């Protein structure tokens, strides 16, 4: 273990711990609060709190552990736990900082862990008593021991020198989520590998896992699978990253008769044996990063292995094997112009994509993309809560920021239009894949519900406006040329070039 040491005088007093609370903060628009305890109907988008159930499992048994996921229950700031661990990704960092401030004011010891703390440990440390950067295994028990011994202040950032062997990953404490299980698509999330060896320039996984992929012993995974129901999700980042391992795992899983979904790269399409093994192991669908139709964008993303020209053939091969495809798409890359949204919608229809996760290009801290955008002064918004892939936080090269936002909203709303969801579902049903049809229907309706609730409609920036609209726009332009009213203020060069300070509140 490696750690950042700070002055000894800051060490805390010895503290007896009996209770530990683990918190998953939620964004404002989906959060359950004590004032309004109704849980938003978006169950299909809640499927894993494996981070916290795993941290709970690494907590020494003498402590009583509870979990609060703000997506499904209100957080009680007057908790009787002495120590609170908060897990968060970048998009919820502001909420995590707010919770930490409130809890520390109440005398609690508050520790951060997860993606954002790992990728921005120094910034995070300003808000917490300590930060666990990386896997909890091996570090979290040490933090708790340091608190009891009064040594916590000596170490502010706990970090592994060498990434731990995944043989040490404990079975997650799913029992701690039993009371809220009905709000999740499944609480049965399983991880068989961590990380991904591909070096995609926008991806946090590469930075977090130091561009490695570690695998769990197959017998440990099988033992865990035997304890859970038939349907579950593998939350791996690229489950076929280590092909030989994946083949062995899938072959060993076949007799268990499970049904699962996961994430992988398009490379699965190139290996017929792998496809068959995955299907026979119960794979129903894969989330696959298609990302873009432009080879220039793929080169910027360090993802040339996707090869845009081969998409349709490869996707067809996956679907022929009986595996559905949810496409991960990124818009706003330098090669994208205002026509990208229409082109993409057409492609998604022709390629018979079952579900879509649309992401506006977002430079996440710790990634090469973030360094480039920061260096070039192209980050336009420094509020982490907007780093949820649904907000434009960059200055795009091939269109305006407004066009990017409008076009992305339009594409999402169009893909999840009710008639299109029905059509896709019927098509899948008629091809004899009832399980996949139900899954695609539920997912489609959930995304649609989110779009309606968040009033996402958008506008196709490449569409020719109707005559009335063109007339009003021309009149507005003439008026603003004459009077100067309504002109957008240009940002100053100093503002553009200055190093950005990210909003921590
Ligand atoms: C399932 C999942 C989701 C689920 C739920 C996630 C959740 N827990 O809240 C849903 C669908 C809601 C989701 C949404 C999003 N997600 Co998501 N998600 C994942 C995924 C695939 C798996 C998470 C998981 O279960 N991991 C398994 C556990 C075991 O790993 P872990 O969480 O890292 O936990 C370990 C350590 O980090 C540490 N640890 C974690 N927490 C704590 C806390 C303490 C106190 C301690 C000591 C240690 C500790 O110990 C754990 C065990 O070693 C990850 C990718 C990944 N590999 O993790 C992306 C990931 C976390 N998501 C990501 C993103 C970007 C998003 C979205 C913003 C956008 C999107 N389109 O996906 C939205 C955000 C919505 C919002 N506003 O909140 C990024 C985060 C990047 C970042 N820098 O923030 C990831 C890494 C994916 C990626 N390829 O980049 N996601």
Q: What is the pLDDT of residues 76-134, one digit of tens each?
A: 999 999 999 999 999 999 999 999 999 999 999 999 999 999 999 999 999 999 999 99
Could you tell me if the CB of 25 is within 6 A of ligand 1?
A: no
Q: Please tell me if the CB atom of residue 353 comes closer than 6 angstroms to any atom of ligand 1.
A: no
Q: Output the 3-class SS for 177-193.
A: HHHHHHHCCCCCEECCE
| Residues 179, 67: Cα–Cα separation, whole Å | 10
* Residue 173, number of CB atoms within 10 A of its CB: 18
Alpha-carbon span 306 to 337, nearest angstrom: 20
Sheet containing 109-113: which strands, arranged edge to edge? 2-5, 155-159, 130-133, 109-113, 83-87, 19-24, 64-69
Pocket test for ligand 1, best of 25, 30, 48 (most atoms within 8 A of CB): 48
Residue nearest to atom 61 of ligand 1 (CA): 89
Query: Taken in order 170, 171, 174, 175, is the CA torsion positive or negative?
Result: negative
Q: Say yes or no: CB of residue 135 within 6 Å of ligand 1.
A: yes
Which parts of the chain sit beneath pLDDT 50?
A: 1-10, 486-505
End-to-end CA distance of the chain: 31
Query: Is residue 241 within 6 Å of ligand 1 at its C-beta?
Result: no
Other CB atoms within 10 A of residue 448 CB: 19
Q: Give 80-100 as a 3 state SS string.
A: CCCEEEEECCHHHHHHHHHHH
Pocket flag, ligand 1, residue 216 (CB < 6 Å) = no
* Fold exhibited by the domain 178-453: pyruvate-formate lyase- activating enzyme (3.80.30)
Find the DSSP H helices in 177-271: 204-208, 218-225, 243-253
Closest C-alpha to ligand 1, atom 29: 51
Q: Give the residue range(s) of CATH 3.80.30.20 domains in the chain.
A: 178-453
For residue 265, what are its two tokens? 């790269």
- In angstroms and rounded to an integer, the radius of gyration of the C-alpha atoms of the chain is 24
* CATH number for the segment(s) 2-159: 3.40.50.2300
Secondary structure of 9-65 in HEC code, one letter for each residue:
HHCCCCCCCCEEEEEECCCHHHCCCCCCCCCCCCHHHCCCCHHHHHHHHCCCCCCEE
* Residue 234 in tokens: 């593998």
Is 53 close to ligand 1, i.e. is its CB under 6 Å away?
no
Nearest CA to ligand 1 atom 32: 51
Question: From the CB of 361, is ligand 1 less than 6 Å away?
Answer: no
Give the model's pLDDT for residue 43: 87
CA of 362 to the centre of ligand 1 (A): 16
Instruction: Name every residue whose Cβ is closer than 8 Å to that of residue 443 and which is 6 or more positions away in sequence.
Output: 44, 326, 355
* Alpha carbon nearest to ligand 1 atom 11, residue: 45
Give CA–CA dist 468/463, Å, rounded. Answer: 14
Distance of CA 430 to the CA centre of its chain: 32
Supply φ then ψ for residue 485, to 5 degrees: -80, 135
Closest residue (by CA) to atom 1 of ligand 1?
48
Query: Is the CB of residue 85 below 6 angstroms from any atom belonging to ligand 1?
Result: yes
- Tally Cβ neighbours within 10 Å of residue 2: 11
Distances (CA, A) of 422 to 45, 168, 316: 19, 45, 21
Question: pLDDT tens, 398-433?
Answer: 999 999 999 999 999 999 999 999 999 999 999 999
Atom of ligand 1 nearest to the CA of 263: 21
Kind of pairing between the strands at 155-159 and 2-5: antiparallel
Q: What spacing in Å lies between the alpha carbon of 89 and ligand 1's midpoint? A: 6
pLDDT of res. 467: 67
Answer whether 359 contacts ligand 1 (Cβ < 6 A): yes
Please give the C-alpha separations between residue 235 and each of 49, 92, 156, in angstroms, as whole numbers: 10, 20, 29
**For ligand 1, is residue 206 a contact (CB within 6 Å)?**
no
Paired sense of beta strands 193-195 and 213-215, if any: antiparallel
pLDDT for position 484 = 62
What integer pLDDT is reported at residue 111 of this predicted model? Answer: 98
Q: What DSSP state is assigned to residue 487? A: P
Q: What pLDDT shows up at residue 384?
A: 97
Cα 136 to Cα 160: distance, rounded to the nearest angstrom: 9
Q: Where are any strands of DSSP class E within 348-387?
A: 355-360
Is 50 close to ligand 1, i.e. is its CB under 6 Å away?
Answer: yes
Task: For ligand 1, atom 56, name the residue with the nearest CA.
Answer: 237
Q: Which of 39, 89, 90, 185 to mutate to test the pocket of ligand 1 (most atoms within 8 A of CB)?
A: 89
Residue 413: other Cβ atoms inside 10 A: 18
List the residue whose alpha carbon is closest to atom 65 of ligand 1.
Answer: 388
Name the segment(s) of the chain with CATH classification 3.40.50.2300: 2-159
Closest CA to 286 of 217, 331, 240: 240
Ligand 1 atom at minimum distance from 364 CA: 83
Answer yes or no: is the C-beta of 109 below 6 A from any ligand 1 atom. no
In this structure, the dihedral spanned by the alpha carbons of residues 357, 358, 362 and 366, taken in order and rounded to 10 degrees, is 20
**Ligand 1 centroid from CA 115, angstroms:** 7
Residue 437 CA to residue 162 CA, distance in Å, equals: 43
How many beta carbons lie within 10 A of that of residue 221, not counting itself? Answer: 21
* For ligand 1, mutation pick of 28, 42, 46, 51 (most atoms within 8 Å of CB): 51
CB neighbours of 126 closer than 8 A, spacing ≥ 6? Answer: 504
The pLDDT assigned to 445 comes to 95
């Amino acid at each position: 273990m490696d750690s950042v040491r700070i002055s000894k005088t800051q060490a805390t007093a010895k503290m007896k711990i009996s209770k530990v609370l683990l918190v998953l903060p939620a964004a404002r628009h989906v959060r359950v609060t004590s004032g309004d305890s109704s849980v938003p109907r978006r169950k299909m988008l809640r499927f894993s709190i494996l981070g916290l159930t795993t941290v709970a499992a690494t907590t020494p048994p003498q402590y009583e552990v509870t979990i609060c996921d703000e997506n499904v229950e209100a957080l009680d700031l007057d908790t009787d736990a002495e120590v609170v661990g908060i897990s968060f990704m970048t998009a919820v960092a502001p909420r995590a900082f707010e919770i930490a401030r409130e809890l520390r004011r109440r005398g609690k010891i508050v520790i951060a862990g997860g993606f954002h703390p790992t990728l921005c440990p120094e910034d995070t440390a300003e808000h917490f008593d300590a930060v666990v950067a990386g896997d909890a295994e091996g570090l979290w028990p040490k933090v708790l021991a340091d608190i009891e011994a009064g040594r916590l202040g000596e170490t502010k950032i706990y970090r592994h020198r060498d990434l731990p062997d995944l043989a040490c990953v404990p079975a997650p404490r799913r029992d701690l989520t039993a009371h809220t299980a009905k709000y999740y698509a499944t609480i049965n999330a399983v991880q068989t590998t961590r990380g991904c060896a591909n070096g995609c320039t926008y991806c946090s996984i590469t930075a977090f896992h130091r561009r490695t992929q570690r695998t769990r012993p197959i017998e440990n995974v099988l033992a865990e699978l035997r304890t859970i129901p038939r349907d579950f999700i593998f939350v791996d980042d690229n489950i076929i990253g280590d092909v030989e391992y994946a083949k062995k795992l899938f072959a060993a899983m076949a007799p268990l008769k499970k049904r699962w979904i996961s994430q992988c790269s398009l490379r699965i399409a190139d290996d017929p044996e792998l496809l068959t093994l995955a299907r026979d192991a119960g794979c129903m669908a894969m989330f696959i990063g298609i990302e873009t139709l432009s080879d220039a964008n793929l080169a910027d993303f360090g993802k040339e292995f996707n090869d845009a020209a081969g998409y349709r053939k490869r996707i067809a091969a996956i679907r022929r094997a009986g595996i559905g495809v949810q496409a991960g798409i990124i818009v706003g890359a330098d090669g994208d112009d205002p026509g990208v949204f229409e082109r993409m919608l057409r492609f998604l229809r022709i390629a018979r994509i079952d579900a879509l996760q649309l992401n506006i290009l977002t430079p996440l801290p710790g990634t090469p993309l973030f360094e480039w955008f920061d260096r070039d002064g192209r980050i336009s918004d420094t509020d982490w809560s907007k780093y949820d892939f649904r907000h434009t936080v960059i200055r795009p090269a091939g269109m305006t920021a407004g066009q990017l936002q409008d076009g992305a909203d339009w594409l999402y709303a169009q893909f999840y239009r009710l008639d299109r969801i029905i059509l896709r579902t019927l098509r899948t049903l008629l091809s004899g894949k009832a399980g996949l049809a139900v899954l695609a229907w539920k997912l489609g309706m959930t995304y649609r519900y989110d779009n309606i609730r968040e009033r996402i409609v958008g506008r196709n920036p490449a569409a020719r406006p109707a005559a009335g609209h063109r007339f009003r726009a021309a009149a507005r332009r003439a008026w603003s040329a004459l009077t100067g009213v309504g002109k957008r203020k240009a940002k100053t060069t100093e503002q553009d070039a200055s190093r950005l300070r990210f909003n921590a509140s």
